[in-house]
Structure 1
Amino acid sequence: MRRRLIPVNVVIAALVFVLLSLDPDQSKPPPVVMERGKAVYAKECLSCHQQDGLGVQGMNPPLAKTAWVLGPKRELIKIVLNGLTEPIEIEGDTFHNPMPPHPHLTDQQIADVLSYVRNSFGNKASAVTAREVKKVRAEKKI
């Protein structure tokens, strides 16, 4: 019996179809990242930003649906690494409590917690990778 070969263009078309049908947000964190991130959040962030991510009025900013969280990942990573000492304004409210730096966290822990925050409290944003954190941390040393 003779085998029938599938033309290359048919294989390529099938691959393109499969790739286009995938979820467009391939960077959504997997459950294990969310679990690890939640554990880091509970230890490092919960007391200030609260269980619901809404912070404390006038002191600690909310993490729910804000440009600070949903915006550029690089800026968010810098805040975790360097802390934040000046007041910030979010939707007309000013928050004064300084955030301490967290350089003791590993690149993976920072990636996990930021991925968790960017996908909790009503947020939907791409995951943060340890590689992205490592790059920002290296820039700080320059």
Structure 2
Amino acid sequence: MQNFKRPIFLILTILVSSCGSSPNKQTADEEPMDRRTEIRLTQYMVQGKSLYQTYCSNCHQADGTGLAKLYPPLAGSDYLMADLKEAACLIKNGKTGEIMVNGVSYNQMMPANTNLTPIEIAEIITYISNSWGNKAGISATRDVTRWLKNCEDSEN
């Protein structure tokens, strides 16, 4: 059933995105996006939001504000936006130990999500890095695949 949903979703995304004529959106580095990238960004944002709600929002909250001093915010997070490559590794492999986010110390374990595929991680990263005031553009699946390989290599 899951394999059936992706093609339908892609067709719907293309149809919705092609309605009307809007100027090219800008990425975080202010370069105009081509139409294909704009459609992919829209798809990644929708899928990423759904995956975020399933895997991340329990701790980081639906609005990305985190949970008190237990779980760090993703909204406006200096830690997240400083290194999206590390974010891919954290999502896949989890993390233990202290981190500093926006000047506040957090020391809760983040569980690993080893069942997530590179495209799902790319969708989550794209969603969280372009929501709640964050602006980073699309995190491509090929990049996330390389990032995940690099974090595996650094563990060995």
Which of the five TM-score ranges fits, normalised by the shorter chain?
Answer: 0.7 to 0.9
Larger Rg: 1
Q: CA deviation at 1:22?
A: 8.2
In angstroms, what is the RMSD of aligned CA positions? 2.0
Deviations 1:48-105 (A, max 9, x none): 0001101012110000111222122211111112211002122232112110111210
Which of 55, 58, 61 is 1:44 aligned to? 55
Aligned partners of 1:70, 1:49: CA distance in 2, in Å? 15
Q: What is the aligned partner in structure 2 of residue 130 from structure 1? A: 141
Kept in 1, the 8 Å contact 2:79–2:100? The answer is no
Which of 71, 86, 101 is 2:112 aligned to? 101
Structure 2 counterpart SS, 1:30: helix
TM-score by length of 1: 0.77
Q: What is the aligned partner in structure 1 of residue 87 from structure 2? A: 76
Segment of structure 1 superposing worse, 110-119 or 79-88: 79-88
Which of 19, 24, 43 is 1:32 aligned to? 43
In structure 1, runs of 5+ residues without a counterpart are 1-20
Structure 1 counterpart SS, 2:121: helix
* CA spacing shift, 1:22–1:63, aligned 2, 3 Å: closer
Instruction: Answer 1 or 2: which has greater helix percent.
Output: 2
Kept in 2, the 8 Å contact 1:57–1:95? The answer is no
Which of 50, 62, 76 is 1:65 aligned to? 76
Q: What is the aligned partner in structure 1 of residue 67 from structure 2? A: 56
Kept in 1, the 8 Å contact 2:123–2:139? The answer is yes
Aligned partners of 1:136, 1:67: CA distance in 2, in Å? 19
Structure 2 counterpart SS, 1:79: helix
* Identity among equivalent pairs (%): 30
Q: What is the aligned partner in structure 2 of residue 9 from structure 1? A: none
In structure 2, runs of 5+ residues without a counterpart are 1-23
